[in-house]
């Protein structure tokens, strides 16, 4: 190819790229498009776009404060922490000499503190309303700094499945931050995702190498947005609905250590979590406390408060529950759990607790569930068919009576006649070892 033709080709490539860039700038200049689009982009992509030209830099870093309202650091490489322990032998870590003078918090929260320092210098941190740190190395001291910082604007914080977090210290910080004598307007944090599973990272299909080389940068970004939108749509269609409302059974798989129930109680009306207190009639916060006879709690379930880890529907016998349902729209805001995923387009707590319209689960068109801890459904909930029997309809028999009914189930499966089975009908044990009578018969060989 002649040098003149090569020069013309370079000119055409430049004009084509400039045209795409101009179109992208015009698109992002629309605030509606900008606010709906940017939460899907990682921080690095936003900063790379801002670095392409002065108009982009002015638009994204100076002219639009809400650009970094939703900040997700889970995919930022410098935020990752894969070191198992502190090496006091002089190992160099991230250009810092690791020695005896480095505190444990400095070591484990070092990557995030470095990122926060950079964001603060760029005047970005002051605009963050939703902060997602799922799966990263997050210390209780780091979270305490967010809680007590009067300049922090973070209202929704997600720290699910994080590493190196001292739960006891976190509970102390939360209870102190929510104390009745706290400073007016503090803490600014209103929602904490901690107990559930972190949201799955979206997978962005990489374009073929040849296509990447020939496609302008703006077109690649548009293709990425289309891919993420398609994936979100597929997940929405394939999903069974929101946790708590649309899905019944175990919602929280995380082990709940002692003290969390009291922490949730002390933080009521100030801070909401991705779980709520159990409303079973054995607990003092239940509307049915003292009104419904309950089975004596086991040795490890004697706390007057409990953290709900299960969502159940109505009783298999009466269709209700002694304490009633938690109904979205009529329940108090403090009684509603935060729902996954973390909202992208709002840092408002009401948005984080609003169930999707598709999760209506009864004929009345209501979003409702009954939050229960494991102790309050023990031996009255079937893990196979998700049925349960409330305290008003069914009292769990003694161990001796359960043993008798267990013999009944086995013998019935072996084909005893009606007269022989009648001797085992009282008392009728509805659940044994986590399975109801009907489900046991389905799996027992005849």
SS (H, E, C) 20-79: HHHHHHHHHCCHHHHHHHHHHCCHHHHHHHHCCCHHHHHHHHHCCHHHHCEEECCCCHHH
Which of 18-22, 178-182, 278-282, 374-378 shows the lowest per-residue confidence on average (mean pLDDT)? 18-22
- Place 443 in a pLDDT band, splitting at 50, 70 and 90: low
Interval 241-264 mean pLDDT = 91
Query: Does the pLDDT value for residue 408 go beyond 60?
Result: no
Query: Does the pLDDT value for residue 311 go beyond 90?
Result: yes
Give pTM, 2 decimals: 0.79
- Place 290 in a pLDDT band, splitting at 50, 70 and 90: confident
pLDDT digits (tens, 9 = 90+) for 107-149: 889 899 999 998 888 888 888 999 999 999 999 999 999 999 9
State residue 445's pLDDT score.
54
- Place 92 in a pLDDT band, splitting at 50, 70 and 90: very low
Query: Strand 249-250 vs strand 156-158: parallel, antiparallel, or unpaired?
Result: unpaired
Query: Does the pLDDT value for residue 286 go beyond 70?
Result: yes
Query: Does the pLDDT value for residue 418 go beyond 70?
Result: no
Question: How far is residue 290's CA from residue 53's CA, in Å, rounded to a whole number?
Answer: 68
409 in Cβ contact with 335 (< 8 Å): no
- Place 398 in a pLDDT band, splitting at 50, 70 and 90: low
Question: How far is residue 70's CA from residue 345's CA, in Å, rounded to a whole number?
Answer: 8
Residue labelled with tokens 């598709």: 358
Outline where DSSP puts E strands in 148-237. 156-158, 191-193
Helix, strand or coil, per DSSP, at residue 374: helix
**Tell me, what DSSP letter sits at residue 388?**
B
Query: Does the pLDDT value for residue 309 go beyond 90?
Result: yes
**119 vs 228, residue with greater confidence:** 119
State residue 7's pLDDT score.
40
CA neighbor of 131 nearest in space, from 176, 191, 210, 186: 191
- Cβ-defined contacts of 8-14 (< 8 Å, 24+): none
- Place 377 in a pLDDT band, splitting at 50, 70 and 90: very high
The C-alpha angle 145, 306, 266, rounded to 5 degrees, equals: 40
**264 vs 302, residue with greater confidence:** 264
CA neighbor of 74 nearest in space, from 188, 161, 139, 191: 161
Which of 31-35, 131-135, 321-325, 412-416 shows the lowest per-residue confidence on average (mean pLDDT)? 412-416
Residue labelled with tokens 């444990």: 104
Interval 195-208 mean pLDDT = 67
279 in Cβ contact with 291 (< 8 Å): no
Percent of the chain exceeding pLDDT 70 equals 70
- Place 303 in a pLDDT band, splitting at 50, 70 and 90: low
**Per mean pLDDT, which of 76-90, 265-279, 431-445 is the most reliable?**
265-279
Query: Does the pLDDT value for residue 425 go beyond 50?
Result: no
Supply the mean pLDDT for the chain.
78
CA neighbor of 122 nearest in space, from 72, 81, 77, 65: 65
State residue 369's pLDDT score.
94
**313 vs 217, residue with greater confidence:** 313
């Amino acid at each position: 190819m002649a040098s003149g033709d090569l020069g013309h080709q370079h000119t055409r490539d430049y004009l084509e790229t400039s045209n795409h860039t101009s179109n992208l700038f015009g698109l992002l200049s629309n605030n509606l498009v900008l606010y709906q689009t940017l939460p899907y982009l990682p921080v690095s992509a936003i900063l790379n776009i801002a670095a392409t030209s002065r108009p982009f830099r002015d638009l994204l870093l100076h002219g639009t404060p809400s650009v970094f309202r939703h900040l997700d650091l889970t995919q930022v490489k410098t935020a990752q922490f894969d070191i198992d322990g502190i090496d006091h032998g002089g190992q160099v870590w991230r250009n810092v000499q690791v020695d005896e003078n480095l505190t444990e918090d400095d070591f484990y929260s070092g990557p995030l503190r470095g990122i926060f320092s950079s964001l603060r210098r760029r005047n970005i941190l002051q605009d963050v309303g939703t902060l997602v740190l799922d799966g990263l190395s997050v210390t209780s001291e780091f979270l305490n700094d967010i809680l007590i910082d009067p300049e922090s604007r973070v209202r929704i914080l997600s720290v699910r499945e994080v590493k190196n977090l001292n739960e006891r210290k976190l509970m102390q910080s939360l209870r102190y931050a929510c104390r009745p004598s706290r400073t007016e307007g503090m803490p600014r944090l209103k929602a904490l995702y901690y107990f559930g599973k972190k949201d799955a990272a979206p997978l962005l299909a990489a374009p073929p190498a040849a296509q990447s080389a020939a496609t302008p940068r703006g077109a690649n970004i548009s293709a990425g947005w289309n891919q993420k939108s398609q994936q979100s749509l597929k997940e929405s269609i394939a999903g069974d609905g929101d946790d708590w409302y649309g899905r019944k059974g175990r919602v929280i798989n995380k082990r709940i250590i002692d003290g969390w129930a009291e922490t949730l109680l002390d933080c009521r009306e100030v801070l909401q979590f991705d779980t709520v207190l159990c409303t079973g009639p054995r607990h003092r916060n239940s509307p049915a406390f003292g009104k419904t006879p309950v089975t004596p709690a086991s040795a490890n379930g004697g706390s007057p408060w409990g953290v709900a880890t299960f969502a159940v529907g109505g009783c298999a016998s009466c269709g209700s529950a002694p304490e009633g349902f938690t109904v979205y729209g009529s329940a108090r805001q403090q009684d509603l759990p935060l729902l996954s995923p973390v909202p992208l387009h709002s840092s408002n707590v009401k948005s984080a607790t609003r169930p999707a319209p598709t999760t209506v689960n009864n004929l009345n068109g209501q979003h409702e569930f009954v939050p229960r801890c494991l102790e309050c459904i023990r031996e009255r909930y079937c893990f196979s068919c998700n049925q349960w029997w409330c305290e008003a309809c069914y009292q769990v028999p003694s161990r001796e009576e359960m043993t008798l009914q267990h013999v009944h189930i086995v013998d019935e499966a072996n084909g005893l006649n009606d007269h022989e089975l009648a001797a085992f009908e009282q008392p009728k044990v509805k659940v044994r070892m986590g399975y109801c009578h009907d489900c046991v018969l389905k799996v027992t060989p005849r």
